[in-house]
Amino acid sequence: MTCDRSTPRARLATAIAVASLAGTALAEHPSLAVADSRPLGHDVSSYQKQIDWRAARAKGARFVYVKATESAGYPNPYFSAQYDGSRAAGLLHGAYHFAVPSASSGTRQARYFLQHGGHWKADGWTLPPALDIEHNPYDARQPCFGLGRTALVRWIRAFSDEVRRSTGRRPVIYTTTRWWDRCTGGSRAFGANHPLWLADYSGTAQTPAGWSYPTIRQYASHGPLPGDQDRWNGTLAQLRKFADG
């Protein structure tokens, strides 16, 4: 994922997995999925600016997550063009929020996200909202944003509750196993009903506590598709059911 204001891109291996118990479709276990048939996707931000979406689809893209917001004051200026353009090209699309827990509450940032593109609708094309929560790109000495483990778990819960209240869906959680274990203490509070988007560029990382396997894996920071490279851990039919909710 990216922190794309005036700072360098902040990418970490992350993932999305296990679909929500509230009506979302579970992806196949990795051992049951045929690698070549699992849909490819990518995630983009303002860093990519204008994108040739038809070319991305021709190269295999079937879904995309577009950065909508960061903290409670930064909207991606290219969001509408990227989000609408991807849909027009035939890609399933979703919006994600880059969390800065030290800046304001989870509830406030969720509301800002929802006001600037983070809403979900049951149109068969819209993926559930996603929360990008990872290392602090603004201060390497404070990777957990200066918050304790209990406080971070509460922050994530507040963000999730606000998204659920407004959209009816729990957000996908994008994170890395290393960050999750360090900053939440390996919390198991979200695995049962929050899909996991796991950034794992090696393919050997264990999933964070609470999840059995990733539903979406971010496997590279660059490749044939614009932005980070992702793969859905299941079939295209399952991906469409995931969008439907």
How many Cα neighbours within 13 Å face the side chain of 145? 25
CA distance 116 to 135: 23
> Roughly what angle, to the nearest 10 degrees, separates helices 177-184 and 149-167?
110
CA distance 121 to 82: 18
The DSSP output letter for 30 is G
- DSSP state string for 142-176: -TTTT--HHHHHHHHHHHHHHHHHHHSSPPEEEE-
Residue 191 · residue 213 · CB < 8 Å: no
Q: Which residues are catalytic?
A: 43, 132, 134
Residue 78 · residue 49 · CB < 8 Å: yes
CA distance 217 to 1: 12
Give the list of residues 6+ apart from residue 170 with CB closer than 8 angstroms, or none: 20, 22, 128, 160, 163, 164, 193, 194, 195
The DSSP output letter for 126 is B
